[in-house]
Amino acid sequence: MNQNEAQITPQQYAAHIASLLEQARQECRVDLKHVDDPRAQALFETTAEVIGGLCKALKDYQRGKEAAWHA
């Protein structure tokens, strides 16, 4: 581990992962407008919703809002 990695907090790692997931969520929402297959649209929408839940969990962790993150 280099010195820069030692200075990164778990909350900063969570923010980075949340950012990557948010990009994927937005891509799902854009892509679902470009497909005609209702099953693919449902899959992309479901994927976006699940990713949204993960982003919320990561943001809650960053803010220390959930009791589960205080254990």
Name which residue leads in pLDDT, 69 or 42: 42
Please give the mean pLDDT across all residues of the chain. 89
Kindly report, residue by residue over 31-61, the tens digit of the pLDDT.
999 999 999 999 999 999 999 999 999 999 9
Q: What is the rounded radius of gyration, in angstroms, for the C-alpha atoms of the chain?
A: 16
Which stretch of 17-21, 39-43, 61-65 has the lowest confidence by average pLDDT? 61-65
Distance of CA 13 to the CA centre of its chain: 12
Q: Is the dihedral of CA 49, 51, 55, 61 positive or negative?
A: positive
- Cα(40)–Cα(51) distance, integer angstroms: 16
| pLDDT > 70 in the chain, percent | 87
Q: Which residue has the higher pLDDT, 63 or 23?
A: 23
